[in-house]
């Protein structure tokens, strides 16, 4: 019963992770954030494998899922520090870190956050590239960096809970496998129970000519 409850809870957590990361992946695609897109893709694959291992009693898959969650938490902590400009990190390095320096796009929430008003600036400054528009953003109820921080915080919370239940499920599955090995251990060594012996004795038969 405990194994069923733990597995069901972990499967639910994996489902929540898939829903939340797919939502995040959509907005990262809209903002051309290539580094988060690739990391999100790896996370989606790993969560699917973890869900498969949970349903099919595959402790190795669940263990791999738990190990990835540690890396996933580390990545999201970096994202939070990046957008909050902790230490030497700066949002001005977004082109290099988030888009591999192949585009000048920012977070989709920068222009499309709640209450944001985007106003084109004309004429654009002389240093602005010709193929890019220069805009002014004002009136945002929530700045885009805090939206990104909220996304990463949710992922960290789900990952921590998922890690705890993944370790719990691996422990339960291992205990069940050990109990099955103990019950069927005699069969594995070719043990045969005592056989009934016949009380009848065979007597030689002589035929007369």
The arithmetic mean of pLDDT across residues 100-128, rounded, is: 72
For residue 46, the model assigns a pLDDT of 97
Sign of the alpha-carbon torsion through 18, 23, 29, 33 = negative
What is the average per-residue pLDDT within 66-80?
96
Q: Looking at the predicted structure, is the pLDDT value of residue 1 above 50?
A: no
**Has residue 99 got a pLDDT over 80?**
no
Summary mean pLDDT of the chain: 80
Query: Among residues of the chain, what percentage have pLDDT more than 90?
Result: 41
Q: Cα(156)–Cα(137) distance, rounded to whole angstroms?
A: 30
pLDDT, one tens digit per residue, over 136-177 is: 778 888 888 899 999 999 999 999 999 999 999 999 888 877
Q: Cα(111)–Cα(85) distance, rounded to whole angstroms? A: 20
Q: Are strands 117-120 and 135-138 parallel, antiparallel or unpaired?
A: antiparallel
Q: How far apart (Å, rounded) are the C-alpha atoms in residues 161 and 173?
A: 18
Q: What is the structure's pLDDT at 176?
A: 78
Confidence band, pLDDT 50/70/90 cuts, at residue 190: very low
Query: What is the predicted pLDDT for the residue at 148?
Result: 92
Whether residue 124 is predicted with pLDDT greater than 90 in this model: the reply is no
Sorting pLDDT into bands at 50, 70 and 90, what band is 114? confident
Q: Would you state the pLDDT for residue 205?
A: 56
Residue that the structure tokens 């069901």 belong to: 8
Mean pLDDT, residues 18-37 taken together: 91
pLDDT of residue 181 exceeding 60, the answer is no
Q: CA separation (Å) from 176 to 3, 50, 180, 185?
A: 9, 19, 6, 14
Residue 187 is predicted with a pLDDT of 47
């Amino acid at each position: 019963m405990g194994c069923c409850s733990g597995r069901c809870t972990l499967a639910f957590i994996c489902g929540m992770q898939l829903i939340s990361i797919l939502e995040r992946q959509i907005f990262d695609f809209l903002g051309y954030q290539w580094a988060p897109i690739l990391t999100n893709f790896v996370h989606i694959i790993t969560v699917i494998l973890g869900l498969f291992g949970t349903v099919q009693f595959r402790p190795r898959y669940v263990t791999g899922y738990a190990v990835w969650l540690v890396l996933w938490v580390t990545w999201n902590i970096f994202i939070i520090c990046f957008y909050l400009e902790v230490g030497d990190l700066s949002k001005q390095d977004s082109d290099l870190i988030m888009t591999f320096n192949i585009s000048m796009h920012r977070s989709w929430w920068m222009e499309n956050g709640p209450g944001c008003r985007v106003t084109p600036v004309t004429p654009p400054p002389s240093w602005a590239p010709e193929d890019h528009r220069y805009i002014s953003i004002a009136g945002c109820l929530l700045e885009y960096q805090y939206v990104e921080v909220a996304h990463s915080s949710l992922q960290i919370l789900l990952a921590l809970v998922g890690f705890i239940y993944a370790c719990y499920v691996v422990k339960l599955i291992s205990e069940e496998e050990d109990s099955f090995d103990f019950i069927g251990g005699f069969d594995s060594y070719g043990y045969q129970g005592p056989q009934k012996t016949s009380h009848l004795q065979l007597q030689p038969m002589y035929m007369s000519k």
